[in-house]
Structure 1
Amino acid sequence: MTVSKNYLKTKKIVLSIIVSSLTMTLISIGSSLFLQLIIDIYIPNLRITQLLVVSTSLFLSYILYALFNYFSGYLSLVLSQKLSIDLLLKYIRHLFDVPIALFNTRRAGELTSRLEDANNIIHTLASTTISAFLNIGTVILIGITLFVLDFKLFLITATLIPLYFLIVYKFMKRFDKLNTKRMESGAKLVSTLIEDIHGMETIKAFNVADSQYHKIDHKFVDQLQKNFMYEKLNVLQSSLKTIVRLSISLLVLSIGALLVIHGRLSLGKLVAFNSLLTYFILPLEEIVNLQSNIQTAKIANMRLNQILNIPKEETLHTITSKELLEFKPSQIIMENIQFEYKYGQPVLNHLNLTIPLGTSTAIIGLSGSGKSTLAKLLIGFYKPTRGETRLQSKTKSINLKNYQQQIVYLPQKPYIFSGTIRDNITLGRFKCIEDAQVEHVAKLAQIHEDIKKLPDGYNTKLSGNDILSGGQQQRIAIARALLSDATILIFDEATSNLDVKTEKSVIDNILQVQNKTIIFIAHRLYIAKKVDQILVMNKGKIIENGTHTQLLKQKGQYYKLLEA
């Protein structure tokens, strides 16, 4: 119903713009015909009264012309905004719905550059498409008027018009090629610039500002060159079109003057014809010039669809609280899991594990053993190449994806958003959160005292990571996780920036939280000593499983890690 209403509203706007513009065209035709009357009738016959009456009428029509011009422009802006809502918001919504893997394979600049592509499409739809309809109507109306004024001069004009289309045809492929190159070049430049801005601290620390700038400089020059080539071709095409337009005007004036001299055409008709010829050729030229905008929009649409055609994350039935109570799951099971980033290079291979709900688990192992990948499979960031992850009760099981809203994943480097500290802790929580709740989780994360020392406490404004240390960022993120309603919390090296004393206090506090399943991805073995279960990973497999005491007795990989 809403879509139909929006469509009808858009349709009404387009029709209103067309009616306004056609009215303006009729006024323009009347103005040119008035020139003929002045030269052929009013001046020779001294008809002053009629001249004044028609002049007054035309003045009023010019006021009407200005009003319709404003009305048409206003409606075009309204249409543009409606299209922006439909297209830009659709793209932004899609970015929130696609799998996380997209953001691992596409740079930020590549994704944000598609917004400019969307703007190109909107410009084409809002102005160019409407302009095409209006100009076609204008050409038809004025063409009929020119034909009635003098069909010989009109035939001369019509004979040369195909030259415009020939020029467009000859340039089409080259415009397509250059358009693609300059858009891709622009996306690469923006991507590199965004990356360098985010990594400026590292750039300064390693004293590589000059070399990084030269990369930007190279990409900038490359984009300038591609833009220059495109604009140069555009200028060349415009110049050729100008030659055709001026040639038509010159030919019409020359032949028209000869007809006037031989008495076959009145001077007033020639002046009127020449005046209307401008109104005929300019919209015709605009129609021809649509080629450039349409080609730009076509390439932009192709680039936009590269993202829009990426399937959204699979939408499964989300288990309700009532269903969960009836289901009574007791454990998470990962069965025969295999995962690979690239074909033929498995990161996890035939992995099997069981994590009882309501317990704490530490997943440990050397770097590159697959710990973080395992965590991201649990949260649903990645889909396994083979195998499944499920929640199991005594009688049945469900896909863990159905339970996704109950899982929170905390990476080693958390993201701090612009806003207050309170906003960052209550992230995404739209229901009312009491200050006492916020302070409670902040105390558990050992960040409450630090926040109190800030100028405005919990209302201190943050702009990214500006005033916070790495450890403070991690503790705010931990408080954020503890405040959530999730029943499964995954901490992926989430305390790595904390000093040993603070880390121990934070870990102890986390483990005291009731009714949560806690999973730690850890290097520091202090955490392993505190949890109910330890999983030791090596080369994408779980090679040991047990408690701290059990694994010590086995004297396997875990024992060696402790001894190292």
Structure 2
Amino acid sequence: MKQQETKKFQGLTNLLSYSKRYKGSLITVGVLALTGAIFILLGPKQIETITNLIIEGMHTGIDLERISKVGMTLVIIYIIGFGINYAKQFIMASITQRLNNQLRTEIDQKINRLPLSYFDEVSYGDVLSRVTNDVDTIGKTLNNSIPTIVTSITLLVGSLFMMVTSNLTLAIIIVTITLLGFTMVKLITKKSQPYFNKQQQVLGDMSGFVEEAYTGHTIIKVYNASDDINDEFSEINDKLTNYGKKAHFLSGIMTPLISFIGNLSYVAVAIVGSKMVVSGSIEFGVVVAFTMYIRQFNNPLSQLTQVVTDLQTASAASIRVRDFMNEDEIPTDTNSPEILDHVEGNINFDHVSFGYDPNKPIIKDFSCDVVAGQKIAIVGPTGAGKTTLVNLLMRFYDVTSGDIKIDGTSIFNITKENLRNQFGMVLQDTWIFEGTVYENLVYSIPNINIDTVEKACERVGIDHFINSLPNGYDTVLDETTSLSEGQKQQFTIVRAMLKNAPLLILDEATSSIDTRTELIIQNAMDELMKGRTSFVIAHRLSTIKDADLILVMKDGNVIESGTHDELLEQRTFYYNLYNSQFQTA
């Protein structure tokens, strides 16, 4: 229970910390809300005066001139109140949009500072849920809650003051009934908060599941797994429904409860007030004014209970955002980093060890010297550590022990940006974003003209397909554009060519391409790799027969190394691996 209370206060503290960024504007909103509430409180007093004037006039003649003056005063009060409330909402809406913008910007920047290991453990859908659902929840709550709290508290205190100064007896009756309602609201809030926390958490799980199911829609259909997916979805959906039902059932009691308390107050004022009017202790206008004060006293209570509900949801959302922002980041670059201006391409792996789980090493004491301009092929069974080795070279992950050097400089003394600028990459997993063909090909590569792009496309054999598109290189690629996996991979190969980096990493670069296209691309790749140090990860051993050095990996160790012919002569693991691919032939 204490832990739940602590979390609740942490969430509210987070909300306040977000609000402090706009302290000046929020003070303005508070002043406007306070002023607007005061104008609202002036209304019943004018109604009381009009009522008494009418009743008095029934005996002596109604003073229409005086009633008109009081009525005009009341209209002016309401017009000013409207203007103040509009200005308040306008400023608050502006604050909310700026807050949402800033939070999303900070989360986006945080994502770029997170290590890849974080995304190995957390689904993309859950991260998206924090960027969208949680940030929106925080923004909407602050937009509605802050002015509502100020206005409601002012109306509560102000209406209480007006009631006490009008008639103490009726004021005591109303306050007693209201305190009973407050006590019940507090008990309900205490019970409902844990369900709001769980609801927000499961909402993130739901977003993650839907994102994964949508991405793997084809696989789900191929393996007839729709029923299993539906069952899993139903389980998460039922959890979300269950927590939402409990949270909103408990919090939903508060509004009708406050309404009941308000109606009870009307009955009490009607009964007690009528007796006091008959006895002559108060005027009838006081009873009329009190019916309005009851509304001004109970409406804020109803609004505050809704604010409490919203704050509970926003509190849970802010905790999720805060936890995300507090995740461990990629270590910053060294205080005196080196910048590589000209890379020859000599690379040294010095007793490198690494494991995604420290207790389960994938690469163990790996050492290798690569001479500039060499084509290094890395082969081996799945899980041998081939792609992991490349990830370490690019510093997507950092080695557990050992060192990697480029031209004698440790990669840990080079800024990550400068290090990654030295590499061109073609990965097995392709990535095409919504944009024109040209924008996709020159992604993040400055100063590239269309002629250079067209020549690269010709070398890779994708130019005919691009020219067949409706607008050629200006065609926008989106969900309606049909690209095969092979065509996507050809796009990524063109990117690597255009980057023209001194080091190349090819991770199954031709895995999704037919044999005829593979020959075209292989020739382009051979030309591209001339004079560059290249790391080629391949399962098709026929594509790396001309490699200067072949590293054969198994269980995180290099068990063999040499040229294709040398390894075949040894008639060991590589020999068996190579022959297994051609045994049919």
State TM-score, norm by structure 2.
Answer: 0.87
Residue from 4, 14, 29 that aligns with 2:26: 14
Secondary structure of 1:229's counterpart equals helix
Q: Displacement of 1:232 after TM fit?
A: 1.9
Q: Deviations over 1:251-310 (max 9, x none)?
A: 233322222222221111221122122112211332344322222112112222232211
Distance (whole Å) between structure 1 residues aligned to residue 335 and residue 115 of structure 2: 17
Structure-2 residue corresponding to 1:223 = 240
Structure 2 residue ranges without an equivalent (≥5): 1-17, 581-585
How many angstroms does 1:387 deviate by? Answer: 2.7
- 8 Å CA contact 1:363–1:520 kept in 2: the answer is yes
2:546 corresponds to: 530
Is the counterpart of residue 31 in structure 1 residue 40 in structure 2?
A: no
Contact 1:410 1:494 in 2 (8 A): yes
CA distance in 2, matches of 1:273, 1:17: 29
Distance 1:494 1:329, change over 3 A: closer
Q: Which digits, 9 at most, give the CA deviation of each residue in 1:304-340, with x for residues without a partner? A: 22322112322315999x9424x86652222222222
Deviations 1:486-541, CA, capped at 9 Å, x for gaps: 33221111211122343233233223225533211111123322222221111101
The secondary structure found in structure 2 opposite 1:530 is coil
Question: Which deviates more, 156-165 or 472-481?
Answer: 156-165
Amino acid at match of 1:16: T
State how far apart, in whole Å, the 2-side matches of 1:272 and 1:246 are.
16
Q: After superposition, where does 1:474-489 map in structure 2 within 5 Å?
A: 474-484=489-499, 486-489=501-504
- Change in Cα spacing, 1:253 to 1:154, as seen in structure 2 (3 Å) is same
Q: Secondary structure at the match of 2:354?
A: strand
- Residue 402 of structure 2: which of 387, 391, 411 is its match? 387
Superposed CA deviations along residues 372-427 of structure 1, whole A, max 9, x for unmatched, are 12122222222223333332438998358461332344321211212222121112
Question: Any residues of structure 2 matched to 1:268-283 within 5 Å, and which?
Answer: 268-283=285-300
Query: Matches of residues 149-548 of structure 1 in structure 2 within 5 Å?
Result: 149-316=166-333, 323-325=339-341, 330-393=345-408, 398-399=413-414, 401=416, 403-429=419-445, 431-464=446-479, 466-484=481-499, 486-513=501-528, 516-548=532-564
1:546 and 1:398, CA in 2 relative to 1: closer, same or farther beyond 3 A?
Answer: farther
What whole-Å deviation, never above 9, does each CA across 1:181-206 have from its counterpart, x for those lacking one? Answer: 32233223332222222112222223
Decide whether aligned partners of structure 1 residues 93 and 9 sit closer, same or farther in structure 2, where only a CA change above 3 A counts.
Answer: closer
The aligned residue for residue 100 of structure 1 is: 116
**Residue 477 of structure 1: how far off its partner (Å):** 0.9
Distance in 1 (alpha carbons) for counterparts of 2:115 and 2:410: 31
CA distance in 1 between partners of 2:95 and 2:572 (Å): 69
1:61 aligns with 2:77: yes
Separation of aligned partners in 2, 1:400 and 1:335: 20
Mapped to 2, the partners of 1:395 and 1:381 lie a distance apart of 15
Q: Give yes or no for the alignment of 1:557 onto 2:573.
A: yes
Q: State the alpha-carbon separation in 1 of the partners of residues 163 and 295 from structure 2.
A: 11
How has the CA–CA distance of structure 1 residues 92 and 253 changed in structure 2, closer, same or farther, with 3 Å as cutoff? Answer: farther
Aligned to 2:13: none
Inter-CA distance 395–338: structure 2 relative to 1 (3 Å threshold)? closer
- Calculate the aligned-residue CA RMSD, in Å: 2.8
Give CA-to-partner distance per residue, 1:57-93, whole Å, 9 cap, x none: 3223322232223222212211111111121222233
Q: Percent identity?
A: 26
- Change in 2 beyond 3 A, CA 1:283/1:422: same
Q: For this pair of structures, how many residues does the alignment match?
A: 556
Range moving further from structure 2, 394-403 or 99-108: 394-403
Counterparts in 2 of 1:8 and 1:37: CA distance versus 1, 3 Å: same
Deviation (angstroms), 1:462: 1.8
Query: What SS does the corresponding residue of 1:498 show, helix, strand or coil?
Result: coil
Contact preservation (8 Å) 2:550, 2:564: yes
Query: Letter of the aligned partner of 2:297 in structure 1?
Result: F
Contact 1:168 1:291 in 2 (8 A): no
Asked if the contact 2:353/2:364 (under 8 Å) is kept, the reply is yes
Which of 546-555 and 503-512 deviates more? 546-555
- What SS does the corresponding residue of 1:310 show, helix, strand or coil? coil
Contact kept in structure 1, 2:456 and 2:498, CA below 8 Å: yes
AA at the equivalent of 1:15: I
> SS of 1:345's equivalent?
coil
Inter-CA distance 511–125: structure 2 relative to 1 (3 Å threshold): same
SS of 2:454's equivalent?
helix
Q: Is the 8 A contact 1:379 1:408 kept in 2?
A: no
Amino acid at match of 1:559: Y
**Cα distance change, pair 548–20 in 1 and its aligned pair in 2 (3 A):** same
| Runs of 5+ unmatched residues, structure 1 | 1-5
Moved more, 117-126 or 389-398: 389-398
Q: Post-superposition shift, 1:211? A: 3.6
Distance 2:387 2:182 in 1: 59
TM-aligned CA deviation for residue 479 of structure 1: 0.7
* In 2, Cα distance between equivalents of 1:294 and 1:241: 18
- Cα distance, 1:240 vs structure 2: 2.9
Tell me which residue corresponds to 1:3.
Answer: none
Q: CA deviation at 1:435?
A: 0.4
Give secondary structure in 1 for the equivalent of 2:536: strand
The verdict on how the C-alpha distance between 1:133 and 1:60 changes in structure 2, with shifts beyond 3 A counting, is closer
Confirm or deny that 1:73 pairs with 2:89: yes
- Within 2, Cα distance between the matches of 1:456 and 1:26? 63
Inter-CA distance 469–394: structure 2 relative to 1 (3 Å threshold): closer
The whole-number CA distance in structure 2 between the counterparts of 1:86 and 1:450 is 42
Assess, with a 3 A threshold, how the Cα gap between structure 1 residues 172 and 51 changes in structure 2: closer, same or farther.
closer
Deviates more, 1:98-107 or 1:75-84: 98-107
Partners of 2:545 and 2:480 in 1: how far apart?
A: 32
Moved beyond 6 Å, runs of 4+: 6-9, 394-397
Q: Secondary structure at the match of 1:342?
A: coil
Q: Distance in 2 between matches of 1:502 and 1:126?
A: 57
How far off is 1:434 after superposition? Answer: 0.5
Query: How far apart are the structure 2 equivalents of 1:395 and 1:112?
Result: 36
